[in-house]
A and B are shown apart, each in its own frame.
Chain A
């Protein structure tokens, strides 16, 4: 297992770690090595009572898990072995106030079970006694009216809808717990709070919590464990007020989060408020507090469109423009509060258009317009395409098709009250409603922009252009110069865009990535029974590639003026006869001189002669090949032969991967390589450089 890490939290021992992790991660919430700061004082400073120690542990554990989640990469775009690095094995050793409680089966089991489903990782926890407590904090005593309900408030449309329903429609006293990842939200949250307070009988209690960590600890963007931190904060606030429940407000489509694309496997589709996670949180908090603790999502059976309609119906439509759904917070500006490209922005804008509430959601707030905005290739376009295509498909599906397409539905059935058959049907109906809203928005937009679509005035990469196959003159896909008109030739080899297209024996056309060997092959195939020397072929290909033309080359055309063709004769031996004779004569002389030098005890001369002797012998040895004969010189002609044959060999290897029949055909004796190259097929087999019959 490659993706294993140990995480040491607080002042804990680093011995006996389960993984051979040479450099375990270390998190410190306080003290000299502090690298994570949890502003839990935001809670403590505003409330009357201290936090129960088990919940204090909970918030710190959730903080450590959240920070580790961001500090350890999941392998980026890696897909080898089916994305094996996506799932990580994480060992946490954490100093807590109640190690016995946290190491007990119900708490630890619920914790690992819930987190492993939430983030797709494998968790191992070792809770040890916290010896050094953080510095004591002063608790300010505010006169807080205790809330009746604690809800998690992200500032998005769903949680805004929940806050309105609780505080205004139902006139309840609520506490809104917010994990604030960036100060960019401050002003918008403040504005929402003002609007809610002015419309509510009881001013909501807003509790923002901030968690900071060293920049070096932010390596992974996915943050699948964020909702655990969020829930832990909410449960802690509820515990302080002696409440036994917290509420998430998240529409059902996002809660079930069925995959938009085949690449979205497992928790790549976030499970932040999936029924299994919600139940898991409830189990953890119940075990910690020793009493039943509920975690609910009242919007599980609502679509986002229906949530928006509820906000409008409650008369609070003016709050919509202050809500924030975008996840690309780094792109957020005062003008563009939403990027318009991320999945959240797409979902939000569709919901607002479907609920006919667009007048409350300024179009200028989006970096890219949902329907007619130009989108980059890659993720922005892919995301929109996947979102709309999923809705298109679901809108046409029967319940049977839907359940036969989304196996993920099965995961929710055991975690919701009621008959699994009925729950499955409810999920289907929820998605059908969502699909209907989305497709209606697209249909209306097509109708509204029909003239611009027909005149092709919209950006080519915008949504409306992607869903409309307009007639008339069309620009062709890249490299479609050879789009066939007429009957296809049985055998052709040609350049198509950046690639090569080869069809053999009337079979399906195969595409090949650019390869110089295919140029050589093209010349040979189009000129059967014509013998080329390797250098002739090399010159032809150089000329063709230099001119960047894809035209065919006929036999006899190869003698380009600017390229020289090497003759057929070889360059002779490495050492000619004369050289060998000279070396041998000199060697004989050296032997005689050596004898003389030895007799005179002339050490200096002996050394020089020995050196000369060795050099001549090595030259003669190097010139000899197998059997002691003098080798032929490796000349340019041989280099050209190797280059051409290797290039064709590589091309044939590619062909073998995709078209075994053609690869078999292009074997000896039909295709012969060497100094002379020739293609000799059966008489009636001809190749064309165009896809259609001439």
Chain B
């Protein structure tokens, strides 16, 4: 049991171009452009993706809940099954569980939504974890404070960018990893595993750069929508997701500067 299999990219022209570029030594920006072009149809479905929209909506609810006097109750109102004084990993676990319940029996689940769910868990662990002194054993108040700080224009921008950068990286690597590992070894694009790893890291940096565009407008959107609508609905989150993904895809297709 516990079997894993790794696959290849399909033998269609658009995907074989991605393979040829990897083999030919193209840089991460160009490979990201080719990959995004090949997968464009999938990216277009982002705004309709139940898992992705639910993830983004729940992410917007966390800072708002943390501004509430009763953090636990506010999280429960958003659908997170947590205690009155939740720790970080309790929130992270409940967050993931809430999305699973929303997509019960995999209705509407996609790989894109799945990657968004994972990216959100990772973003919370990394951002909140790095802001509290100790990842484990901190008080619920520490967690609440760390989340509540994300409700400002600037901090939400940074939070949103971190999430979309991780999601973008997962999306690109989802395809690229099917080809990259087959070009390792003597006489190949990557002579050693270390070189392959370096490439994967560069792809992550490129994803971060491409997601910079989200940082530019997400904070303003969050504050404005929350103020005008007295909260953020799933419909608001779907609209925001659509714009964010469209902008990122456009950046990737333009070949966002790696060192920008």
* A residues neighboring B (CB under 8 Å): 77-84, 86-87, 112-113, 116-117, 120-123, 154, 156, 221-222, 226-227, 250, 254-255, 257, 260-266, 268-270, 272-273, 327, 342-344, 347, 377-379, 381-383, 385-386, 388-389, 392-393, 399-400, 403-414, 419-425, 460-461, 465-469, 474-480, 496-499, 501, 508-511, 513, 657-660
Name the residue of chain A whose CB is nearest to the CB of B180. A382
Instruction: Among B15, B126, B191, point to the contact of A400 (Cβ < 8 A).
Output: B126
In the docked arrangement, what's the CA distance between A615 and B101, Å? 76
Instruction: Among A122, A389, A508, point to the contact of B107 (Cβ < 8 A).
Output: A122
Name the residue of chain A whose CB is nearest to the CB of B162. A404
- 8 closest Cβ pairs, A-B complex: A413-B93, A407-B118, A254-B2, A404-B126, A262-B173, A499-B24, A407-B121, A460-B186
A447 to chain B, nearest CB (A): 18
Check if B227 is an interface residue, CB within 8 A of chain A.
no
Determine whether the beta carbon of B193 is less than 8 Å from that of A388.
Answer: yes
Check if B129 is an interface residue, CB within 8 A of chain A.
yes
Residues of B within 8 A of A420 (CB): 87, 89-90, 92-93
Q: Write out, one digit per residue, whether chain B residues 175-188 have a CB within 8 A of any chain A CB (1) or not (0).
A: 11110011011111
Residues of A within 8 A of B10 (CB): 77-80
Determine whether the beta carbon of A477 is less than 8 Å from that of B4.
Answer: no
A502 to chain B, nearest CB (A): 11
Given contacts A273-B1, A406-B122, whether A499 and B177 have CB atoms under 8 Å apart is no
* B residues neighboring A (CB under 8 Å): 1-10, 15, 17, 20-21, 23-27, 29-30, 33-34, 37, 39, 41-42, 45, 81, 87-90, 92-97, 100, 104-107, 109-112, 114-115, 117-123, 125-126, 129-130, 135-137, 170-171, 173-178, 181-182, 184-189, 191-197, 254-255, 258
In the docked arrangement, what's the CA distance between A79 and B112, Å? 11
In the docked arrangement, what's the CA distance between A269 and B81, Å? 26
Determine whether the beta carbon of A478 is less than 8 Å from that of B187.
Answer: yes
Could you give 13 example pairs across A and B, Cβ below 8 Å? A77-B10, A81-B42, A82-B110, A122-B107, A221-B5, A261-B181, A263-B178, A268-B4, A408-B121, A466-B192, A477-B25, A508-B29, A511-B26
Residues of A within 8 A of B192 (CB): 466-469
Residues of B within 8 A of A410 (CB): 89, 92-93, 95-97, 118, 121
In the docked arrangement, what's the CA distance between A83 and B185, Å? 28
Beyond the given A410-B89, A477-B191, please list 8 additional residue pairs across the A-B interface where CB-CB is below 8 A: A77-B8, A79-B10, A265-B114, A381-B184, A404-B122, A406-B122, A513-B17, A513-B20
Name the residue of chain B whose CB is nearest to the CB of A483. B25
Determine whether the beta carbon of B135 is less than 8 Å from that of A265.
Answer: no
Determine whether the beta carbon of A250 is less than 8 Å from that of B89.
Answer: no
In the docked arrangement, what's the CA distance between A22 and B135, Å? 55
Name the residue of chain A whose CB is nearest to the CB of B4. A343
B249 to chain A, nearest CB (A): 13
Determine whether the beta carbon of A403 is less than 8 Å from that of B122.
Answer: yes
Residues of B within 8 A of A467 (CB): 192-194
In the docked arrangement, what's the CA distance between A226 and B42, Å? 30
Determine whether the beta carbon of B170 is less than 8 Å from that of A400.
Answer: no
In the docked arrangement, what's the CA distance between A411 and B114, Å? 12
Determine whether the beta carbon of B89 is less than 8 Å from that of A423.
Answer: yes
Determine whether the beta carbon of A385 is less than 8 Å from that of B193.
Answer: yes
B92 to chain A, nearest CB (A): 5
Residues of A within 8 A of B137 (CB): 421
Instruction: Among A226, A255, A477, A509, point to the contact of B187 (Cβ < 8 A).
Output: A477
Residues of B within 8 A of A269 (CB): 4
Determine whether the beta carbon of A382 is less than 8 Å from that of B4.
Answer: no
Residues of B within 8 A of A113 (CB): 104-105
Determine whether the beta carbon of B184 is less than 8 Å from that of A385.
Answer: yes
Determine whether the beta carbon of B2 is less than 8 Å from that of A270.
Answer: yes
Given contacts A270-B3, A344-B2, A513-B17, whether A382 and B182 have CB atoms under 8 Å apart is yes
Name the residue of chain B whose CB is nearest to the CB of A383. B6
Determine whether the beta carbon of A498 is less than 8 Å from that of B20.
Answer: yes
A497 to chain B, nearest CB (A): 6
Determine whether the beta carbon of A474 is less than 8 Å from that of B87.
Answer: no
In the docked arrangement, what's the CA distance between A162 and B252, Å? 50
Given contacts A421-B87, A465-B185, A498-B20, whether A257 and B45 have CB atoms under 8 Å apart is no
